[in-house]
Structure 1
Amino acid sequence: MFYRAKGLVLLASFAVATGAVASHLGAQEDIPAQPVDTSALPDLGPDQERWLTRNPYRADPATYAKAQQVGQEAFAKNCSRCHGPNAVSAGIFPDLRYLDPREAGDVWFISRFHHGLKRDGKVLMPPLGEALGQKTGWAIRSWLDARHEK
Protein backbone atom coordinates (compact mmCIF):
# COMPACT_ATOMS: atom_id res chain seq x y z
CA MET A 1 0.00 0.00 0.00
CA PHE A 2 2.83 2.41 0.90
CA TYR A 3 4.51 1.84 -2.47
CA ARG A 4 1.29 2.48 -4.37
CA ALA A 5 0.66 5.72 -2.45
CA LYS A 6 4.26 6.76 -3.01
CA GLY A 7 3.86 6.03 -6.73
CA LEU A 8 0.74 8.19 -6.91
CA VAL A 9 2.58 11.03 -5.20
CA LEU A 10 5.44 10.70 -7.69
CA LEU A 11 2.98 10.57 -10.59
CA ALA A 12 1.19 13.68 -9.31
CA SER A 13 4.54 15.45 -8.86
CA PHE A 14 5.53 14.54 -12.41
CA ALA A 15 2.21 15.86 -13.75
CA VAL A 16 2.66 19.15 -11.92
CA ALA A 17 6.27 19.46 -13.08
CA THR A 18 5.47 18.73 -16.72
CA GLY A 19 2.55 21.14 -16.58
CA ALA A 20 4.88 23.81 -15.22
CA VAL A 21 7.36 23.10 -18.02
CA ALA A 22 4.62 23.27 -20.65
CA SER A 23 3.36 26.58 -19.30
CA HIS A 24 6.97 27.83 -19.11
CA LEU A 25 7.47 26.91 -22.76
CA GLY A 26 4.41 28.89 -23.74
CA ALA A 27 5.54 31.92 -21.75
CA GLN A 28 8.89 32.49 -23.43
CA GLU A 29 7.68 35.49 -25.37
CA ASP A 30 6.75 37.24 -22.11
CA ILE A 31 10.33 37.41 -20.84
CA PRO A 32 11.92 40.71 -21.92
CA ALA A 33 15.43 40.66 -23.36
CA GLN A 34 18.06 42.07 -21.02
CA PRO A 35 20.33 44.69 -22.61
CA VAL A 36 24.02 43.95 -23.12
CA ASP A 37 26.84 46.46 -23.57
CA THR A 38 28.56 45.63 -26.87
CA SER A 39 30.40 48.94 -27.20
CA ALA A 40 33.77 47.18 -26.77
CA LEU A 41 33.14 45.18 -29.93
CA PRO A 42 33.83 46.60 -33.41
CA ASP A 43 30.93 47.50 -35.65
CA LEU A 44 30.05 44.93 -38.25
CA GLY A 45 30.75 47.22 -41.18
CA PRO A 46 28.54 48.90 -43.76
CA ASP A 47 26.32 45.82 -44.05
CA GLN A 48 25.46 45.94 -40.35
CA GLU A 49 21.74 45.86 -41.13
CA ARG A 50 22.13 42.65 -43.14
CA TRP A 51 22.33 39.62 -40.87
CA LEU A 52 25.60 37.79 -41.39
CA THR A 53 25.80 34.00 -41.60
CA ARG A 54 29.38 33.62 -40.35
CA ASN A 55 30.76 34.79 -37.02
CA PRO A 56 32.69 37.99 -37.85
CA TYR A 57 34.59 38.02 -34.55
CA ARG A 58 36.60 34.84 -35.22
CA ALA A 59 38.91 36.64 -37.68
CA ASP A 60 40.87 38.54 -35.01
CA PRO A 61 41.98 36.70 -31.82
CA ALA A 62 41.79 39.81 -29.59
CA THR A 63 38.31 40.71 -30.83
CA TYR A 64 37.23 37.09 -30.50
CA ALA A 65 38.39 36.98 -26.87
CA LYS A 66 36.50 40.22 -26.10
CA ALA A 67 33.41 38.88 -27.88
CA GLN A 68 33.56 35.77 -25.70
CA GLN A 69 33.59 37.93 -22.55
CA VAL A 70 30.62 39.97 -23.77
CA GLY A 71 28.89 36.78 -24.90
CA GLN A 72 29.25 35.14 -21.50
CA GLU A 73 27.43 38.06 -19.87
CA ALA A 74 24.79 38.15 -22.61
CA PHE A 75 24.17 34.41 -22.31
CA ALA A 76 23.83 34.64 -18.53
CA LYS A 77 21.30 37.46 -18.83
CA ASN A 78 19.24 36.16 -21.73
CA CYS A 79 19.77 32.47 -22.38
CA SER A 80 20.75 30.63 -19.21
CA ARG A 81 17.22 30.44 -17.79
CA CYS A 82 16.37 27.95 -20.55
CA HIS A 83 19.69 26.63 -21.87
CA GLY A 84 21.23 26.30 -18.41
CA PRO A 85 24.03 28.08 -16.60
CA ASN A 86 27.28 27.87 -18.54
CA ALA A 87 25.22 26.40 -21.43
CA VAL A 88 24.78 23.07 -19.64
CA SER A 89 21.18 22.18 -20.48
CA ALA A 90 18.98 20.21 -18.10
CA GLY A 91 17.59 18.36 -21.11
CA ILE A 92 14.44 20.31 -21.93
CA PHE A 93 16.09 22.81 -24.27
CA PRO A 94 19.01 22.22 -26.65
CA ASP A 95 22.43 21.96 -25.05
CA LEU A 96 24.28 24.58 -27.09
CA ARG A 97 27.71 23.19 -26.23
CA TYR A 98 27.10 20.59 -28.94
CA LEU A 99 26.30 23.12 -31.66
CA ASP A 100 28.44 22.63 -34.77
CA PRO A 101 31.46 24.96 -34.29
CA ARG A 102 31.75 25.66 -38.01
CA GLU A 103 29.80 27.88 -40.40
CA ALA A 104 26.84 25.46 -40.47
CA GLY A 105 26.45 26.03 -36.73
CA ASP A 106 26.75 29.79 -37.25
CA VAL A 107 23.89 29.77 -39.77
CA TRP A 108 21.61 27.73 -37.48
CA PHE A 109 22.48 29.77 -34.39
CA ILE A 110 22.04 33.25 -35.85
CA SER A 111 18.80 32.30 -37.58
CA ARG A 112 17.35 30.92 -34.33
CA PHE A 113 18.69 33.90 -32.34
CA HIS A 114 17.25 36.39 -34.83
CA HIS A 115 13.88 34.78 -35.56
CA GLY A 116 13.26 32.55 -32.53
CA LEU A 117 11.15 29.40 -32.77
CA LYS A 118 7.41 28.83 -32.55
CA ARG A 119 5.72 25.46 -32.70
CA ASP A 120 1.96 24.89 -32.52
CA GLY A 121 1.47 28.53 -31.54
CA LYS A 122 3.83 28.26 -28.57
CA VAL A 123 7.01 30.27 -28.39
CA LEU A 124 9.81 27.80 -27.71
CA MET A 125 12.45 30.49 -28.14
CA PRO A 126 11.73 34.18 -28.40
CA PRO A 127 13.20 36.13 -31.31
CA LEU A 128 16.07 38.12 -29.83
CA GLY A 129 17.50 39.69 -32.98
CA GLU A 130 15.53 42.93 -32.92
CA ALA A 131 15.80 43.37 -29.16
CA LEU A 132 19.52 42.59 -28.73
CA GLY A 133 21.05 43.05 -32.17
CA GLN A 134 23.51 41.16 -34.25
CA LYS A 135 26.61 42.13 -32.25
CA THR A 136 25.14 40.51 -29.14
CA GLY A 137 24.15 37.42 -31.10
CA TRP A 138 27.67 36.91 -32.44
CA ALA A 139 29.15 37.59 -29.01
CA ILE A 140 26.97 34.82 -27.55
CA ARG A 141 27.98 32.53 -30.41
CA SER A 142 31.66 33.32 -29.72
CA TRP A 143 31.25 32.37 -26.07
CA LEU A 144 29.45 29.16 -27.05
CA ASP A 145 32.45 28.30 -29.26
CA ALA A 146 34.58 28.36 -26.10
CA ARG A 147 32.06 26.03 -24.39
CA HIS A 148 31.93 23.57 -27.34
CA GLU A 149 32.05 19.86 -26.62
CA LYS A 150 32.01 16.94 -29.03
Structure 2
Amino acid sequence: MNRTSNFLGGVFAMGCTLVFLSGAALAHGDVVPQAVDTEGLKSLPEGEWLDENPYRGNKQAIEIGSSAYGQNCARCHGLEAVSGGIAPDLRELGPEYDDYFIGKVRGGVQRNGMTYMPAFEGTLSQDAMWAIRAYIDKRHYEYNDKDLAKLYEQAEDGS
Protein backbone atom coordinates (compact mmCIF):
# COMPACT_ATOMS: atom_id res chain seq x y z
CA MET A 1 0.00 0.00 0.00
CA ASN A 2 2.90 2.34 0.72
CA ARG A 3 4.33 1.84 -2.78
CA THR A 4 0.94 2.59 -4.30
CA SER A 5 0.66 5.81 -2.26
CA ASN A 6 4.14 6.88 -3.35
CA PHE A 7 3.32 6.07 -6.98
CA LEU A 8 0.02 7.98 -6.88
CA GLY A 9 1.72 10.89 -5.12
CA GLY A 10 4.35 10.99 -7.86
CA VAL A 11 1.72 10.87 -10.60
CA PHE A 12 -0.20 13.66 -8.89
CA ALA A 13 2.95 15.80 -8.56
CA MET A 14 3.81 15.20 -12.21
CA GLY A 15 0.27 16.14 -13.25
CA CYS A 16 0.44 19.35 -11.22
CA THR A 17 3.78 20.20 -12.80
CA LEU A 18 2.37 19.70 -16.31
CA VAL A 19 -0.65 21.88 -15.53
CA PHE A 20 1.66 24.59 -14.13
CA LEU A 21 3.99 24.47 -17.12
CA SER A 22 1.16 24.57 -19.64
CA GLY A 23 -0.25 27.62 -17.83
CA ALA A 24 3.16 29.29 -17.95
CA ALA A 25 3.40 28.62 -21.68
CA LEU A 26 0.06 30.34 -22.20
CA ALA A 27 0.83 33.20 -19.81
CA HIS A 28 1.70 35.58 -22.61
CA GLY A 29 -1.88 35.34 -23.87
CA ASP A 30 -2.91 36.70 -27.23
CA VAL A 31 0.19 37.63 -29.18
CA VAL A 32 -1.64 39.35 -32.04
CA PRO A 33 -0.53 43.01 -32.18
CA GLN A 34 -3.19 45.36 -30.90
CA ALA A 35 -4.25 48.51 -32.72
CA VAL A 36 -3.11 51.85 -31.28
CA ASP A 37 -5.31 54.95 -31.44
CA THR A 38 -2.97 57.91 -31.95
CA GLU A 39 -5.72 60.49 -32.42
CA GLY A 40 -4.64 63.87 -31.12
CA LEU A 41 -0.95 63.42 -31.95
CA LYS A 42 0.67 65.36 -34.76
CA SER A 43 0.53 63.05 -37.79
CA LEU A 44 3.86 61.98 -39.19
CA PRO A 45 4.68 61.90 -42.91
CA GLU A 46 3.49 58.80 -44.77
CA GLY A 47 6.27 56.68 -46.23
CA GLU A 48 9.05 58.79 -44.69
CA TRP A 49 10.42 57.04 -41.62
CA LEU A 50 12.00 59.30 -39.04
CA ASP A 51 15.13 58.24 -37.15
CA GLU A 52 14.52 60.46 -34.12
CA ASN A 53 11.52 60.48 -31.79
CA PRO A 54 9.31 63.46 -32.71
CA TYR A 55 7.14 62.91 -29.60
CA ARG A 56 9.89 62.95 -26.95
CA GLY A 57 8.49 64.52 -23.79
CA ASN A 58 4.97 64.85 -25.25
CA LYS A 59 2.65 63.91 -22.37
CA GLN A 60 -0.18 62.80 -24.65
CA ALA A 61 2.19 60.60 -26.67
CA ILE A 62 3.55 59.13 -23.43
CA GLU A 63 0.02 58.26 -22.29
CA ILE A 64 -0.84 56.68 -25.66
CA GLY A 65 2.53 54.92 -25.70
CA SER A 66 2.00 53.53 -22.20
CA SER A 67 -1.22 51.84 -23.25
CA ALA A 68 0.25 50.67 -26.56
CA TYR A 69 3.32 49.29 -24.77
CA GLY A 70 1.12 47.36 -22.35
CA GLN A 71 -0.84 45.82 -25.21
CA ASN A 72 2.03 45.05 -27.58
CA CYS A 73 5.35 44.94 -25.76
CA ALA A 74 4.91 44.09 -22.08
CA ARG A 75 4.39 40.37 -22.63
CA CYS A 76 8.08 40.07 -23.57
CA HIS A 77 9.76 43.25 -22.33
CA GLY A 78 7.95 43.32 -18.96
CA LEU A 79 5.34 45.48 -17.29
CA GLU A 80 6.37 49.14 -17.19
CA ALA A 81 9.41 48.17 -19.31
CA VAL A 82 10.99 46.25 -16.42
CA SER A 83 12.36 43.15 -18.12
CA GLY A 84 11.94 39.79 -16.50
CA GLY A 85 14.81 38.42 -18.54
CA ILE A 86 12.93 37.23 -21.63
CA ALA A 87 13.85 40.30 -23.68
CA PRO A 88 16.04 43.38 -23.18
CA ASP A 89 15.16 45.93 -20.50
CA LEU A 90 14.05 48.87 -22.62
CA ARG A 91 14.57 51.39 -19.81
CA GLU A 92 18.24 51.25 -20.69
CA LEU A 93 17.60 52.75 -24.16
CA GLY A 94 18.53 56.41 -23.98
CA PRO A 95 17.57 58.96 -26.64
CA GLU A 96 20.71 58.18 -28.63
CA TYR A 97 19.15 54.81 -29.52
CA ASP A 98 16.11 56.13 -31.43
CA ASP A 99 17.32 54.78 -34.78
CA TYR A 100 18.13 51.40 -33.20
CA PHE A 101 14.67 51.28 -31.58
CA ILE A 102 12.70 52.12 -34.72
CA GLY A 103 14.75 49.68 -36.81
CA LYS A 104 14.08 46.78 -34.44
CA VAL A 105 10.38 47.60 -34.07
CA ARG A 106 9.88 47.97 -37.83
CA GLY A 107 11.87 44.91 -38.91
CA GLY A 108 11.73 42.68 -35.86
CA VAL A 109 14.59 40.56 -34.60
CA GLN A 110 15.60 37.23 -36.10
CA ARG A 111 18.54 35.03 -35.21
CA ASN A 112 19.51 31.74 -36.82
CA GLY A 113 16.19 31.58 -38.63
CA MET A 114 14.14 32.09 -35.47
CA THR A 115 11.95 35.12 -34.79
CA TYR A 116 12.72 36.66 -31.40
CA MET A 117 10.55 39.72 -32.00
CA PRO A 118 7.98 40.14 -34.77
CA ALA A 119 8.20 42.98 -37.25
CA PHE A 120 5.57 45.61 -36.48
CA GLU A 121 5.87 47.60 -39.71
CA GLY A 122 2.58 47.26 -41.53
CA THR A 123 0.83 46.50 -38.25
CA LEU A 124 1.58 49.56 -36.14
CA SER A 125 1.80 53.05 -37.60
CA GLN A 126 4.95 55.14 -37.29
CA ASP A 127 2.94 57.41 -34.95
CA ALA A 128 2.19 54.43 -32.68
CA MET A 129 5.81 53.24 -32.65
CA TRP A 130 7.12 56.67 -31.70
CA ALA A 131 4.41 57.04 -29.02
CA ILE A 132 5.68 53.77 -27.51
CA ARG A 133 9.20 55.19 -27.71
CA ALA A 134 7.99 58.34 -25.90
CA TYR A 135 6.76 56.12 -23.07
CA ILE A 136 10.08 54.23 -23.00
CA ASP A 137 11.88 57.61 -22.85
CA LYS A 138 9.88 58.42 -19.71
CA ARG A 139 10.73 55.05 -18.17
CA HIS A 140 14.41 55.66 -19.07
CA TYR A 141 14.32 58.99 -17.21
CA GLU A 142 12.68 57.38 -14.17
CA TYR A 143 15.08 54.42 -14.18
CA ASN A 144 18.09 56.76 -14.22
CA ASP A 145 16.65 59.22 -11.66
CA LYS A 146 16.62 62.02 -14.24
CA ASP A 147 14.38 65.06 -13.87
CA LEU A 148 11.12 64.40 -15.78
CA ALA A 149 10.59 68.15 -16.11
CA LYS A 150 13.60 68.21 -18.47
CA LEU A 151 12.00 65.48 -20.57
CA TYR A 152 8.72 67.40 -20.81
CA GLU A 153 10.58 70.61 -21.69
CA GLN A 154 11.82 68.91 -24.85
CA ALA A 155 8.24 68.67 -26.14
CA GLU A 156 7.48 72.26 -25.16
CA ASP A 157 10.62 73.53 -26.87
CA GLY A 158 9.86 71.51 -29.98
CA SER A 159 13.24 69.82 -29.74
2:79 aligned partner, one-letter code:
P
Instruction: From the two aligned structures, give the one with the greater helix fraction.
Output: 1
Alignment gaps of 5+ in structure 2 = 1-16, 145-159
* Pairs within 5 Å for 1:45-124: 47-58=45-56, 64-99=58-93, 101-102=94-95, 104-124=96-116
Distance 2:59 2:116 in 1: 30
Deviations 1:62-102 (A, max 9, x none): xx110000000000000000000101001121000011x22
In structure 2, how many angstroms separate the alpha carbons of the residues matched to 1:129 and 1:142? 18
Sequence identity, in percent?
Answer: 42
Note if contact 1:129-1:137 (Cα within 8 Å) is conserved in structure 2: no
Are the aligned partners of 1:53 and 1:110 in contact in 2 as well (CA < 8 Å)? yes
Show structure 1 runs of 5+ residues with no match: 1-12, 25-29
- RMSD (CA atoms): 2.3
Equivalent of residue 140 in structure 1, options 120, 132, 136: 132
Structure 1 consecutive aligned stretches of length 4 or more whose deviation exceeds 3 Å: none
SS in 1 for 2:110: strand
Q: Deviations over 1:26-60 (max 9, x none)?
A: xxxx932100111121111xx331110001113xx
- The TM-score with structure 1 as length reference comes to 0.72
Tell me how many residue pairs correspond in the alignment: 120
Task: Supply the AA of the counterpart residue of 1:40.
Answer: G
Match of 1:43 in 2: 43
Rg comparison, structure with higher value = 2
The TM-score with structure 2 as length reference comes to 0.68
